Amino acid sequence: GDSVTQMQGQVTLSEDDFLFINCTYSTTWYPTLFWYVQYPGEGPQLLLKVTTANNKGISRGFEATYDKRTTSFHLQKASVQESDSAVYYCVLGSNSGTYQRFGTGTKLQVVP
Amino acid sequence: DTTVKQNPRYKLARVGKPVNLICSQTMNHDTMYWYQKKPNQAPKLLLFYYDKILNREADTFEKFQSSRPNNSFCSLYIGSAGLEYSAMYLCASSSRAETLYFGSGTRLTVL
């Protein structure tokens, strides 16, 4: 079946550090891919999405490239701030387009 | 107003007793979802309503029920709670499976 994998459970960075969160997926089709972010006490919210292979999504300084060759959708940010501390989920859209499947999430902690 | 509301925020239940969680949205979205989130695990899709059609995941088919009396409301029902049901339950809605809009969740503790 389809799946999405995030190997990093937690990442701790200092302000202005470069962020890289790994995400890979396994499907038999070309899915829509999403990154959601969840701040403490809130539900997840959309950060960015990409519907077409080899395209890049950009939002709030974050970017992710849909790489169909490596089946990856890594999240990057050049310079993180303390306010970026949250849990980041890589998410896979279903083939039917009716639901979305979440990865295990990566908790980012940014220290001043 | 992109708001999904869940009630209550915290719920305590006894083993063997029923549990009913409520979700509402005012965006006229066609689809409403329920996810279960446990520590160090991915949010797990339990079921979703597309319009009036209920779709339940195969591995949780018998554990959860749901109803959607109108477009705005959706409930999640557990007939007999067990300790393994303790988790955060997240409700979400979307239009044509695009962006999911989540509520803040209901944290269920079963004792």
Which tokens sit at A43? 């539900």
**Percent with pLDDT over 90 in chain B:** 85
Which helix (H) or strand (E) covers residue A25, if one does? Answer: strand A24-26
| pLDDT value, residue A1 | 79
| pLDDT value, residue A26 | 94
Q: Touching check for B50 and chain A: CB below 8 Å?
A: yes
Pairwise CA distance, residues B30 & B71, whole Å: 7
Q: With bands split at pLDDT 50, 70 and 90, how would you rate the model's confidence at B1?
A: low
Q: With bands split at pLDDT 50, 70 and 90, how would you rate the model's confidence at B78?
A: very high
At residue A84, the 3 state secondary structure works out as: helix
Q: Name the phi and psi angles at B17, rounded to 5.
A: -95, 155
Which tokens sit at A36? 């959601």
Which residue would you say has higher pLDDT here, B55 or A95? B55
| Best mutation target, B44, B49, B100, B104, to test chain A (most A CBs within 10 A) | B100
Residues of B in contact with A87 (CB under 8 A): none
| pLDDT value, residue A95 | 79
Residue A58's identity, in one-letter code, is I
Mean pLDDT of chain B: 93
Could you report the per-residue pLDDT of A11-20, keeping only the tens digit for each? 999 999 999 9
Task: Compute mean pLDDT per 10 residues along chain A, 112 residues long, and list them.
Answer: 90 97 92 94 94 92 94 96 97 85 96 94
Q: With bands split at pLDDT 50, 70 and 90, how would you rate the model's confidence at B97?
A: low
Q: Name the phi and psi angles at B43, rounded to 5.
A: -55, 130
| pLDDT value, residue B2 | 59
The pLDDT of B61-76, averaged and rounded, is 94
Write b or e for each residue in B57-75: b if 16 or more Cβ atoms lie within 10 A of its Cβ, otherwise e: beeeeebbbbebeebbebb
Q: Touching check for B85 and chain A: CB below 8 Å?
A: no
C-alpha torsion sign, points A19, A33, A46, B36: negative
Residues of A in contact with B103 (CB under 8 A): 43
String of DSSP letters for A28-58 = SS---EEEEEE-TTS--EEEEEE-STT-EEE
Pairwise CA distance, residues B18 & B16, whole Å: 7
| pLDDT value, residue B16 | 97
Task: Say which residues have a Cβ less than 8 Å from residue A14's Cβ, sequence separation at least 6.
Answer: A110, A111, A112
Least reliable range by pLDDT among A14-18, B38-42, B46-50, B94-98: B94-98
Q: Touching check for B49 and chain A: CB below 8 Å?
A: no
Pairwise CA distance, residues B72 & B93, whole Å: 10
Q: With bands split at pLDDT 50, 70 and 90, how would you rate the model's confidence at B33?
A: very high
| pLDDT value, residue A72 | 95
Verify whether the Cβ–Cβ distance A99 to B99 is below 8 Å.
no
Q: With bands split at pLDDT 50, 70 and 90, how would you rate the model's confidence at B61?
A: confident
Residues of B in contact with A93 (CB under 8 A): 97
C-alpha torsion sign, points B35, B88, B9, A12: negative
Residue B35's identity, in one-letter code, is Y
Task: Say which residues have a Cβ less than 8 Å from residue B69's Cβ, sequence separation at least 6.
Answer: none
